[in-house]
Structure 1
Amino acid sequence: MSYLNQVLRALFDGLLLPFRSMPPVIGLVVVSLLSAILALIVFKKTSNQDRIAEVKRQIHACLFEIRLFNDDLRAIFRAQGELLRHNLHYLGLSLVPMAFMLVPFALAYFHLEQHYGYRPLRPGEAVLVRALVGEPIETRPEVALEAPEGITVLAGPAWFPAAREIDWKIRPEVEGRFALALKAGDRVLTKTLRVGGGVQRVSPRRPSPRFADELLNPGEDPLPGTGPVAAIEVAYPQRQWRFLGAEMPWWVGWLALMLLFALALRNRMGVSI
């Protein structure tokens, strides 16, 4: 999983680099367009296009029949039954391409979340750093945070045995990319901290080497898995998004734009959906 995440990090970092200093929505529109093109290609290659086109014609015929014989209840009920059957058939035909798209688009979501779900810190903005302990223990592990120049440690360490975490409060003073160092015994563990503006890869968690943790938190390589510290978190603020005047997650805009682009490009690319 680590190697795959390294490849995907490089891919998405390179893709979004030209849009780093632009408003986040511009990069999201480009990503949505590319996602729609990829989805249409996969759908076309993995689905039975002729059968889908035939089922769609049958669905349209049923709708026309309902409108044409709107004073004949028997004809309407018969057409509605056929309409339901054809819709279920269409759904079944769509499951295969959807299955092919599930894994790549899930991976894309987890990586895009690092760019669009969170924003970098601003100079002077305080944040919590958490060292998560893997095994239940009674006493605080000997873990010390060393902050580089430009980062001020305001408080900590604070040990919370019930949550199995050690917390510090820090404040960046200048923009940049920093490496926080946690000394745990004879090991030094690092965590990236990003301060500035624009769209950057922001990793709120350096994961443990467990598969699920790496899958959900692909922004950095996992910790070694030995020693008391299992993962390190930085409580980055979430990036605020507004679509049509309402606040909502970034992925709502991604999916909506991707759907609009797919509908606009389907005929040009010769895809029946």
Structure 2
Amino acid sequence: MWYLNVLLNTLCDAMLWPFQGESPWPAMIAVSLVTGLIFIGVFLAFSDQRALKRKKGRMFARALELLLFRHEMLVSVTAFPRIATANGSYLKELLKPVALALVPSVLLLVQLACWYEYRPFSIGDTVLVDVELTSDAEVMSRDITLKTSDALVVETEALRIPSLSQHSWRLQARADGNAWVDVTVDDTTVRKEVIVDQGMQKISVSRVGASLWEQMLHPCEPPLTDDALIAKISVHYPHRDLELAGYSIPWIIAFLILTMIFGLIFGRMMKVSF
């Protein structure tokens, strides 16, 4: 899974890197435009356009039949099964291209979440770091230390939570840049990046183990090895919302709306039937 993540990271970073700045909107518009174009291309390549047009026309004809003969009880009652059959046939025709686009769409959303779900820390922000040990590691007796780069300063000793197999520290951001924390358990040291910046940056919230599901959800950093005794290292970043005309908009809503708009525009230009 890590090699797939490396490929996806490279592609997504190359697309978004030119748009790094204080405003997230240029990158959002660009990636939505590209996504809309790719989706239309996939839909056109893997759908039977003639069958779609025919079945959509049949579906509308059944609905029109119900509208025109709404005063005829027998026609109205018998029209419902025909409408349901026409709808089912139309949706079945849509299933193949939509299913083919589903998996890459999920992977793309995970990549975009690394850029848009959270924002980097600002100078002076409080940074909370959680280290979750594996189930066979003794939380209270295990020798565990945390060191940081110069951009961060440790403010508290480790808070040990045995019920969660977790150690927590409170830090403070002191300077911009790609900072890091080194967590040492016994003789094994693991590094976790921490981003302090004012612009658009890719954020890795957690560095996780080799679980396929965990790696898919947290693709930015290499997975932890089994001999590290560390199951996960998490940093609590502040959430990001997109600002538009004084309103806060969740990034995923903005992405879906823009992608649908661009998809409809490209679909109309390429005469694609949905």
State the TM-score, normalized to the length of structure 2. 0.93
Superposition CA RMSD, Å: 1.8
Partner secondary structure for residue 226 of structure 1? helix
Instruction: Please list every run of 5 or more consecutive structure 1 residues that lacks an aligned counterpart in the other structure.
Output: none
User: Match of 2:36?
Assistant: 36
Change (3 A) 1:245 1:79: farther
Q: What is the alpha-carbon distance in structure 2 between the residues aligned to residue 32 and residue 74 of structure 1?
A: 48
**Structure 1 residue 216: Cα displacement:** 0.9
Q: What is the alpha-carbon distance in structure 2 between the residues aligned to residue 245 and residue 271 of structure 1?
A: 36
Q: What is the alpha-carbon distance in structure 1 between the residues aligned to residue 184 and residue 141 of structure 2?
A: 13
Q: What is the alpha-carbon distance in structure 1 between the residues aligned to residue 207 and residue 84 of structure 2?
A: 48
**Structure 1 residue 244: Cα displacement:** 8.4
Give CA deviations for 1:120-166 in whole Å, capped at 9, x if unaligned: 00110002101111115352421111111121101121110101111
**Structure 1 residue 261: Cα displacement:** 1.7
User: Match of 1:69?
Assistant: 69
Aligned AA (2:198): G
**Structure 1 residue 180: Cα displacement:** 1.3
Q: Which moved more, 1:3-12 or 1:59-68?
A: 59-68
Mapping 1:1-273, distance limit 5 Å: 1-136=1-136, 137=138, 139-241=140-242, 247=248, 249-273=250-274
Maintained 8 Å contact 2:62/2:86: no
Tell me the percent identity. Answer: 28
**Structure 1 residue 225: Cα displacement:** 2.1
Partner secondary structure for residue 36 of structure 1? helix
Maintained 8 Å contact 2:130/2:167: yes
Partner secondary structure for residue 155 of structure 2? strand
Give CA deviations for 1:190-240 in whole Å, capped at 9, x if unaligned: 001101122211000011111111011111111122132121110111112
Change (3 A) 1:80 1:242: farther
Partner secondary structure for residue 163 of structure 2? coil
Change (3 A) 1:64 1:231: same
Aligned AA (1:26): P
**Structure 1 residue 75: Cα displacement:** 2.7
Instruction: Please list every run of 5 or more consecutive structure 2 residues that lacks an aligned counterpart in the other structure.
Output: none
